[in-house]
A and B are shown apart, each in its own frame.
Chain A
């Protein structure tokens, strides 16, 4: 379940090419505010620090392109199925807006066709299939296109026997596509069952926020699962639990540290160390593969 998500979500580009309205205080990103602690920062320091606040450690959301730049070796990402778009199967309308118009607006503002980019790349020289979700596109929600692209990526990884890395950021299944969207959870999980059967490593990077049907499908099925510090990762988010169960929750509920404490993930890794971490993991599997052959 999802909609546009957090209002304070940032969308400034790594090089300032796509300034986000919420954070830009001066022209050309000279200064930005941390969306969490409101610390005033120089734009170039913010970019250099990979959008991690030097004061409070908050890991701000990244765009798909920024995430690819962070994880893949330079200029090695080749996008697959990039042209797919939704044809609005339910002709979904609310009183204020059509789903169609919303999609068109997002394509214009994000320069994305959908909420995920998939492709092949190298990471520390090793081949992998990359799946990168982008929360700006309708809260990273999964409809038919997202489900198809991810399934396609899993099938490519299975056929070519190369590891798959998914970076999640999603509010869950996309309500505007009804049960078609819900069934993408089953579709991607079925593709994962085949990938696992073929012995293809599946790495998951959980980023802020990942909730609902995406958490309850491929996000929680990794062979190795890493989260960014402070990422909200839940089936039901803490605010919804508080509202529906009429309780006050401890502060950490639903965040990466809570998941680690309850045995749901393998580790929490600072953004700066992510690429090296996944490189280590890929080398383990590459060496194991070489030993078998």
Chain B
């Protein structure tokens, strides 16, 4: 069943309330009411598609952060016939904000890992609200090495507000942990596919998303800095977060237009949280498509293409004649 609780979903919530009131009458529903129920349901569908067809960047942020949005654990459960969790970084601890392990995806063994926010208060605390510590990146690094050794493709699912900004993170080298992952992933001798399922928050997201293909769910975001932080610095007021969200170009559509991602995965009407199974089925089929293409490449070809993918980013953001002069 659908439910609507974001501010811009107010018209939908109102319609939904009226529909539910009529539906409660059950068998006692008279002819007129039955017609009205039908009309309301049609209107709800139309308005839902209308609103979700043109979300503003800030509305997208709200959907991407929706508390009922499917998380990595949901996708793993819904997409993989079997999953064996691999835990710990073998150096310090086991970060619950990154969940990963061996998985069976359509009969293929893959290494799947992603950010985990936690659903209830207790889980959220355990997962540090999805903000990874250095040991999370180092666990991921261990899993990347494992994948390379056994020729397993890597699938990463991104949903992180940002890397953990605490004292212990600095003490244990969060910057070094992220940096090492960037370097290792860029040259990992196996295919890597990243799907941004919710929030792609800055360096914290990048630390598990250097990939051959970057795919984004329709209403997910990927950003250099959280809109609140960017607004606090550049607008001198975090209340300008909606302006920052717009200016930084953080939506799947804008990033595809900029050539920074390969594909957009459509979400069920009203967002992935309204139908997790449908969302997971869509993610799975797009992953399998890209995986089949990548498996067709030799390792050398794969690595050269990955290097070129990143090497080219930003070239069209540079004064053209100067670039020509340099070559």
Taking Cβ atoms with an 8 Å cutoff, the residues of A that contact B are 1-3, 80-81, 83-90, 92-95, 143-145, 147-148, 151-152, 172-187, 189-194, 196-197, 212-213, 215-221, 234-236, 240-241, 244-245, 247, 249, 253-254, 258, 262-264
Decide yes or no: A213 and B319 within 8 Å by CB, A1-B233, A193-B187, A264-B173 being known contacts: no
Q: Is B2 an interface residue (CB 8 A)?
A: no
User: B186 at the A/B interface (Cβ < 8 Å)?
Assistant: yes
Interface string of B233-254 (1 = CB under 8 A from A): 1110000100100011110000
Contact across chains for B173 and A84 when beta carbons are under 8 A apart: no
Contact of A236 among B170, B234, B306, B325 (CB under 8 A): B170
Known: A84-B319, A216-B178. A187 touches B313 (CB 8 A): yes
Interface residue tally on B, bucketed by range = 35 or more
A-B contact count (CB 8 A): 225
B174 touches A216 (CB 8 A): yes
Chain A residues closer than 8 Å to B240, beta-carbon distance: 95
In angstroms, how far is the closest chain A Cβ from the Cβ of B242? Answer: 12
Q: Are A216 and B179 in contact (CB under 8 A)?
A: yes
Label chain B's interface by main secondary structure.
helix
In the complex, B176 has a CB within 8 A of chain A? yes
Q: Within 8 Å CB of B311, what residues of A?
A: 151, 187, 190-191
Which residue of A has the minimal Cβ distance to B173? A264
CB neighbours (8 Å) of B224 from chain A are: 1, 173-175, 177-179, 181-182, 213
- Tell whether A175 pairs with B233 under 8 Å between CB atoms, given A89-B317, A221-B179: yes
0/1 interface trace, chain B 291-327, chain A, CB 8 Å (1 if under)? 0000000000000001100110111111110110110
Q: Is the Cβ of A234 less than 8 Å from the Cβ of B170?
A: yes
Using Cβ atoms and an 8 Å threshold, which residues of chain A touch B225?
A: 1, 173, 175
Contact A87 B183 (CB under 8 A): no
Q: List 20 interface pairs A-B (beta carbons < 8 Å), by A numbering.
A: A1-B224, A83-B322, A83-B325, A84-B319, A86-B317, A145-B317, A177-B314, A178-B223, A182-B203, A182-B224, A187-B311, A187-B314, A190-B182, A213-B203, A216-B178, A216-B182, A216-B206, A219-B175, A221-B179, A241-B170
Measured between beta carbons, the chain B residues less than 8 angstroms from A263 are 173
Question: How distant is B233 from chain A, measured CB to nearest CB, in Å?
Answer: 5
B313 and A235 within 8 A (CB): no
Residue contact B249 to A90, C-beta cutoff 8 Å: yes
Identify the closest chain A residue to B176 (Cβ). A220
Q: Shortest distance in angstroms between B130's beta carbon and chain A's nearest beta carbon?
A: 14
